[in-house]
Amino acid sequence: MITIHSDHLKLCVSYVSSGATGIDCSSPIPICPPLPYTNNGLTTAGSINNFNGDSNLCQSPYMTGQDYIFTYTPAATQCVTISINGTGANSFPGLFLLDGCPNDTDNSTCVASAINTSNEILSVILH
């Protein structure tokens, strides 16, 4: 389960393309306020690893695994907590927050990251 919380909520209407698969930056899953956003049952099992070691902006071996891409653009500066839980045994998730696409190493940077080796809740808090 992926959850994003915010203290500042705004209403947004977003067109979600049927092609939004989350497998790469050309088809990310959009997150549209109001927050919190929750999505259950997502899996990267059988997904493609579109971003490998040459696009490792967060300098983590976890970035070389199977990918699920989301996009979120806040209407104003805000504090958010992004978390993943319920990943199951031996899943070893990584959570990476970038200001662009992972393979755009000239224009994107790693804002925050976290990895999980113990099946606990994985969180990134941004202030």
Give the model confidence (pLDDT) of 78-97 as tens digits. Answer: 888 888 777 777 777 888 88
pLDDT band at 12 (very low <50, low <70, confident <90, very high): very low
Kindly report which listed range (14-18, 91-95, 96-100) carries the lowest average pLDDT score.
Answer: 14-18
What pLDDT, on a 0 to 100 scale, did the predictor assign at position 125?
64
Omega prior to 34 cis, within 30 of 0: yes
Could you give the CA distance from residue 14 to residue 96 in angstroms, rounded to a whole number?
A: 23
DSSP state of 53: G
Using the predicted structure, report yes or no on whether residue 62 has a pLDDT greater than 60.
yes
Which whole number is the average pLDDT over 6-32? Answer: 63
What pLDDT, on a 0 to 100 scale, did the predictor assign at position 31?
86
Which whole number is the average pLDDT over 84-113? Answer: 83
pLDDT band at 120 (very low <50, low <70, confident <90, very high): low
Using the predicted structure, report yes or no on whether residue 8 has a pLDDT greater than 50.
no
What rounded mean pLDDT belongs to the chain?
A: 74
Could you give the CA distance from residue 76 to residue 97 in angstroms, rounded to a whole number?
A: 17
Q: What is the reported pTM?
A: 0.74
Contacts for 54 with CB less than 8 Å, ≥ 6 apart? 103, 105
Using the predicted structure, report yes or no on whether residue 111 has a pLDDT greater than 80.
yes
Percent of the chain with pLDDT over 90: 0
Coil, helix or strand for 64? Answer: helix
